[in-house]
Amino acid sequence: MSNNNQQKNQAELERVRHSISHLMSMAIMELYPKTGLGVGPFIENGFYQDYDLPESISAEIFPKLEKRIKQLIKQDIKFEQHAVSFKEALKLYQDDPYKTELIEDLKKAGEKDVSFYKSDWFENLCKGPHVKSTKEINPDAFKLDKIAGAYWRGSEKNKMLTRIYGMAFSSKKELDDHLAMLAEAEKRDHRKLGRELGLFIIDPLVGSGLPLFLPKGTIIRDALWEFLKEEQLKLGYQFVTTPHLGRLALYKTSGHYPYYKDSQYPPIKIDEEEFLLKPMNCPHHIAIYQSQKHSYRELPIRLAEAGTVYRYEKSGELTGLVRVRGLTIDDAHIFAAEEQIEQEFLSVAELVLKIFKLLNFKEFRVRIGARDPQSQKYIGDEKSWNKAEKIIEKTLKGRFNYIIAPGEAAFYGPKMDFIAKDVLGREWQLGTVQLDFNLPERFALTYTDKNGKEKRPVIIHRAPFGSLERFIGILIEHFAGAFPLWLSPVQIKILNVGSAHEKFCQELTTKLKDENIRVELDLANETVGNKIRQAVAQKTPYMLVIGDKEMKSDKLMVRVRGQEKLLEISYRELVEKIKGLIKEKSLAL
RNA sequence: GCCGGAGUAACUCAGUGGUAGAGUAACUGUUUUGUAAACAGUAAGUCGUGGGUUCAAGUCCCUCCUCCGGCUCCA
């Protein structure tokens, strides 16, 4: 399909999606004539519409609504646009505070009049666009999805409305494909797999948002960090270790307190002093930088640490490993001279891309997080912000396709985020690089330049994974628990056929362990079939069934994850093969 | 935090006011197994918490906690 066609189809689909939301509103208003209407745009994969309903409803109403929407589609209802004057529009909606607010906003924005769409008896303030007639809508290609609360205009100070989400596509097949993707995503849910594969748990008694990594999860975590450590050593990073709390005064200097007061664990008071569980590693790394005088010859100084921080995320925001209260950032702070920024940004970008390639994230995009011009939440002066934003853009121009996202900056500086698609096509913000002129100023950081003058360095904050917890959560879903060999908690599972083979299996296990291969032995009094089934469920990369044949022959029959045919191979060859794959961190088995 | 849904054995779940159940896992025994589920038995639950209604509550009502889907937020 040509690009033009794609765009055209996309536009058609958006009209369809938006039009179904109007039909849904018709169906709702037939049931509850007094319903207030909030916003109702098309979105990726479908649409939603907010309602102020006289009573609370549940998804049980969906079949009834869907049936009615299908009937409406078949009635060949026309969508007609007309302009209404502000005066008239305000009069029409005099009892509707939501519409009144929207109309006032349009007026402020300098519009001449207000656009309305009429479909049958249903007339609604709406800028469109819509289908000409419901004939254009495929009645079998939409489905109501879920019901949720949503604040009017997205502000938690406002009333909460009822939002109904729907999915809509141009064909039933696309809808079915999308539903299949969702079903697959549910199967891969890292919270479910995390428990089934023995990777991590969250214990309510320990606290929500405070995951406990089990032995197998810890193997993955350590392997990821070891990999990153090696890469960073090659790139000239130095590793530091800092404690989990620091004096409140430190965070007052950095500005993290009271700026993030509401999302931090409150200060701990002891001996007339106050300490804060660290919400960020930067102040500690800055203290290390400041412990000495620095020359331009040393820069850039790159201080790295898997630093655990604690943030009091609101209870409703917590999700498994991907949103937690205690998290370990694969953090580093690069103290650099201004002219080194571009090089350092590129070096971090390269590292992030290497990670993507290694872990099979095939598609990604880059986003520059810039200031929200409306917001006051930023520290530092206009000049340094402009400079920082310019430098990032200059660095990326011609090298990456990027979009600029206003309002996505950190409070101390603009950033560059890498957003990758997983194998199901879902997007995750992974690597982040942030440019900061402000903390160096607040802490009065200096280095001595060529001419013996004191100069101000910049700080580049960066985390290629984001956080170990979140990254592991994403990887669990990305790989559906079937990790590449180098990350697999158990690389080989050995299963004995009968009790006569136990000793041989134990010796084999010891030998493989000596080769630094992670091996697990299953001597349970179970049928071979059952033991295989369990090892398959654990997504074990290699399985060795050991019986009389293996004890007599010098060949092993290896069952490889995802392959039907058994691999016949000698012990030595198998060890070399596996060690080779681990060393290259191969995706294949 | 807000809106909605849910919480019964380690896990997945059944149980609509009248004696707490199943499958899986665990444990014990039998079986000695050849590439995705051997057989038998045993043990296991203050039915999330606290209160209320009732002769009687897993079931109805209220409080709090936790989880799920969203919203808001995410240094």
CA of A195 to C1' of B6 (A): 19
Instruction: List Cα–Cα distances, A276 to A108, A243, A314, A389, in angstroms.
Output: 45, 11, 18, 31
Token pair belonging to A1: 């399909």
Average pLDDT on A271-297 reads: 95
CA of A177 to C1' of B58 (A): 40
Q: How confident is the model at residue A10 (pLDDT cuts 50, 70, 90)?
A: confident
**Distance, C-alpha A441 to centroid of its chain:** 32
Closest nt by CA–C1' to A502: B32
Residue nearest to nucleotide B32 (CA to C1'): A498
Note the pLDDT of residue A534: 95
Can you list the domains of chain A with their CATH numbers? 3-171 (3.30.980.10), 192-477 (3.30.930.10), 485-584 (3.40.50.800)
Torsion-angle region of A110 (φ positive above 0: left; ψ -120 to 50: alpha; else: beta):
left
Average pLDDT on A445-461 reads: 96
CA of A355 to C1' of B23 (A): 42
pLDDT digits (tens, 9 = 90+) for A329-380: 999 999 999 999 999 999 999 999 999 999 999 999 999 999 887 777 788 8
User: Among the listed ranges A17-21, A108-112, A121-125, A213-217, which one has the minimum average pLDDT value?
Assistant: A108-112
pLDDT digits (tens, 9 = 90+) for A289-321: 999 999 999 999 999 999 999 999 888 888 999
pLDDT digits (tens, 9 = 90+) for A544-585: 999 999 999 999 999 999 999 999 999 999 999 999 999 999
CA distance A61 to A66: 9
Closest nt by CA–C1' to A162: B3
Does A294 belong to an annotated binding site? Answer: no
Helix (H), strand (E) at residue A238: strand A237-239
Note the pLDDT of residue A423: 86
Q: How confident is the model at residue A1 (pLDDT cuts 50, 70, 90)?
A: very low
Does A501 belong to an annotated binding site? Answer: no
Does A282 belong to an annotated binding site? Answer: yes
Summary mean pLDDT of chain A: 91
Q: How confident is the model at residue A2 (pLDDT cuts 50, 70, 90)?
A: low
Closest nt by CA–C1' to A375: B73
- Per DSSP, what are the bridge partners of residue A413? A410
Residue nearest to nucleotide B3 (CA to C1'): A149
CA of A525 to C1' of B39 (A): 13
More confident residue, A258 or A312: A312
Dihedral of alpha carbons A447, A448, A454, A457, sign: negative
Residue corresponding to tokens 């920082």: A388
**Distance, C-alpha A464 to centroid of its chain:** 13
Query: Could you please report the per-residue DSSP string of A121-171?
Result: TEEEE------SBGGGS-TTSEEEEEEEEEEGGG-TTSPEEEEEEEEE-SS
CA of A31 to C1' of B58 (A): 35
Listed in sequence order, the DSSP H helices in A297-433 are 341-358, 382-396
pLDDT digits (tens, 9 = 90+) for A71-107: 999 998 889 898 888 888 888 888 888 888 888 888 8
Closest nt by CA–C1' to A158: B2
- Residue A139: CB atoms within 10 Å: 15
SS3 at position A385: helix
In this predicted structure, the answer to whether residue A518 has a pLDDT above a threshold of 90 is: yes
Note the pLDDT of residue A398: 87
Protein CB footprint (7 Å) on chain B nucleotides: 1-5, 11, 25-26, 29-38, 65-75
In this predicted structure, the answer to whether residue A210 has a pLDDT above a threshold of 50 is: yes
In this prediction, what percent of chain A has a pLDDT beyond 70?
99
Average pLDDT on A197-223 reads: 91
CA of A492 to C1' of B37 (A): 22
Report whether A29 contacts A65 (CB < 8 A): no
CA of A345 to C1' of B43 (A): 61
In this predicted structure, the answer to whether residue A279 has a pLDDT above a threshold of 70 is: yes
Q: Give buried/exposed letters for A289-324 (b at 16+ CB in 10 A, else e).
A: beeeebeeeebbbbbbbbbbbbbbbeeeeeebbbbb
CA of A221 to C1' of B35 (A): 31
Note the pLDDT of residue A576: 97
Report whether A224 contacts A471 (CB < 8 A): yes
Closest nt by CA–C1' to A262: B73
Instruction: Identify which of A364, A469, A487 has the alpha carbon closest to the alpha carbon of residue A416.
Output: A364
Closest nt by CA–C1' to A320: B67
Mean pLDDT: which of A157-171, A202-216, A520-534 is highest? A520-534
Average pLDDT on A409-414 reads: 88
